[in-house]
Structure 1
């Protein structure tokens, strides 16, 4: 498969084009910055995601490229992620809030996932791409930014305009140069 292959999902039935065209590239245009309106739209989309009891158990730390905060987040990523994430327009730390004044929030991880999904598709509508990653040191990130319980860094997302996958070093290019695949619907369903 070539670097410029069609990344549109092959679906059993048509789904919304934003969903079908979304993919997590590691290639970012290194010279594009996010503007304030785009950032606000991303956070508005996340803000209006559903959450159990309207608790909204998510917080975000946005670090734009060429800032000290960006470098601090980048240093907490696994080395392989640092190689490509350094070209993103911003790194977003998605932070789960595991409790509030009423006690533990058992659905916090699920709710944060919904907020990130909303943010991801707003990004697609803005012409941006989002690649979320679990390859980072959560304890180092929490210490770096003084995040104490109940705040838990849960994922880091690279955000920006998709770049040319051909520009990626071979060591990180695999997913961008292979055909997209997903588990079949029949294999996802548990039959009663």
Structure 2
């Protein structure tokens, strides 16, 4: 597959230009034991409110029972393609402290950690695709999670596959050019 580089209005880091979220993953690729350490180390060093570090992860490699549990929760199109990734990861926000106090910024901080993780993974030759289409209640039940841990998203991690392995319309989406709103559309006030 050819690169899907972003067309930017100003220079940004090359890793950010090159990073994108594929659906076609190499079904023969298996992650070696320590392959994700750099990505999770990047997540570890993400900023968080009062340094609470409210992110937790369930990492499941393809072929494991945990992978099957996560895959069973995926909805819609996600269920059609995500099983080809080398790993599925559940991104969890610790929404309460050990004493039951709410952590208001937990989901935001988790998002920062996942962003750091995805950029680091891409710099190491891995691709990440984040998904919101999954059954969070089933994740909580399958892994025996308490009320303090909120499943926010699931992501795939692996090596890039080929678009031809996808059914339509997923293949069409895989081949489509990348697009984003302009910076001017995103910034509401810029005094």
User: TM bucket by the smaller chain?
Assistant: over 0.9
2:22 equivalent in structure 1 = 25
- Give the corresponding residue for 1:106: 104
SS at match of 1:37: coil
Contact 2:3 2:18 in 1 (8 A): no
Count of equivalent residues: 189
- Which residue in the other structure is 1:131 paired with? 129
For 2:89, what is the secondary structure of its paired residue?
strand
Structure 1 residues 97-106 or 66-75, which shifts more? 97-106
Select 2:48's aligned residue among 51, 59, 70.
Answer: 51
1:120-175 Cα shifts (integer Å, max 9, x gaps): 01111110000000000101111111111110100000000011112211132232
TM-score (ref. length: structure 2): 0.95
Normalising by structure 1, report the TM-score: 0.94
Q: CA RMSD in A?
A: 1.3
Q: Measure the CA separation in 2 of the matches of 1:79 and 1:71.
A: 16
Q: Which residue of 2 aligns with 1:97?
A: 94
Unaligned runs of 5+ in 2: none
Hey, which bits of structure 1, 4+ residues long, moved more than 4 A?
none
2:167 to 153, 169, 175: 169
Moved more, 79-88 or 16-25: 79-88
Q: Secondary structure at the match of 2:7?
A: coil
Equivalent residue for 1:121, pick from 113, 119, 122 = 119
Aligned to 2:70: 73
Are 1:14 and 2:11 an aligned pair? yes
